[in-house]
């Protein structure tokens, strides 16, 4: 299925949004406002970035399983985002892109999800927006940027470590 709302010849795609940005913007934490400001600009199409709809499913998994966010809260927050019907939502997951994703996962020694994000970034000649610092070290032929300011991201990581110890 081709994303009919997205017209690559008309809309130059700036970036691809990784799941971590979605996660941080959907629960209370020190980086939520920064992530939400960035995501809001993407959803309003002020920043021409795509959000794979499958990233929403990944965000729900991370929020509920690892961050122990109550399932109803995660569902409501993510559903509200989806109900914006933003032109940023990217719904295409073809066999070719999955094959390309697996090739990237193998070649870069990353998870298959990261391989997918790399494939999209290459397809659109776009930046990957992620909080995954390891990805930035492994991928050299695609720009990888954390949109959360470094001081706020440090506070988030400190907060997260203390939260996960409990």
How does residue 3 score in pLDDT terms, banded at 50, 70 and 90?
very low
Q: Which tokens belong to 106?
A: 């193998």
At 111-156, the pLDDT tens digits run 888 999 999 999 999 999 999 999 989 999 999 999 999 999 999 9
How does residue 7 score in pLDDT terms, banded at 50, 70 and 90?
low
Burial label, 96 (beta-carbon count in 10 A; 0-12, 13-18, 19+): exposed
Place of tokens 């130059």: 12
At 74-95, the pLDDT tens digits run 999 999 999 999 999 998 777 8
Cα gap 118→142, rounded to integer Å: 7
Burial label, 109 (beta-carbon count in 10 A; 0-12, 13-18, 19+): exposed
Give the number of C-alpha atoms closer than 13 A to the C-alpha of residue 123, restricted to the C-beta side: 20
How far, in Å, are 3, 122, 154 from residue 140 at the CA level? 28, 12, 23
Residue 8 pLDDT greater than 90, yes or no: no
């Amino acid at each position: 299925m081709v994303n009919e709302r997205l017209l690559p010849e008309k809309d130059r795609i700036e970036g691809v949004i990784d799941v971590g940005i979605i996660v941080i913007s959907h629960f209370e934490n020190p980086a939520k406002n920064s992530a939400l400001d960035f995501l809001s600009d993407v959803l309003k199409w002020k920043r021409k970035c795509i959000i794979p709809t499958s990233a929403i499913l990944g965000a729900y998994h991370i929020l509920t399983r690892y961050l122990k966010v109550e399932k109803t809260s995660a569902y409501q927050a993510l559903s509200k985002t989806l109900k914006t019907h933003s032109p940023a939502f990217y719904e295409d997951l073809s066999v070719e892109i999955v094959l390309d994703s697996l090739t990237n996962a193998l070649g870069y020694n990353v998870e298959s999800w990261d391989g997918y994000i790399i494939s999209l970034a290459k397809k659109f000649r776009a930046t990957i927006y992620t909080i995954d610092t390891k990805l930035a070290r492994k991928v050299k032929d695609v720009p990888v940027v954390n949109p959360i300011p470094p001081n706020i991201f440090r506070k988030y990581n400190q907060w997260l470590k203390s939260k996960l110890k409990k």
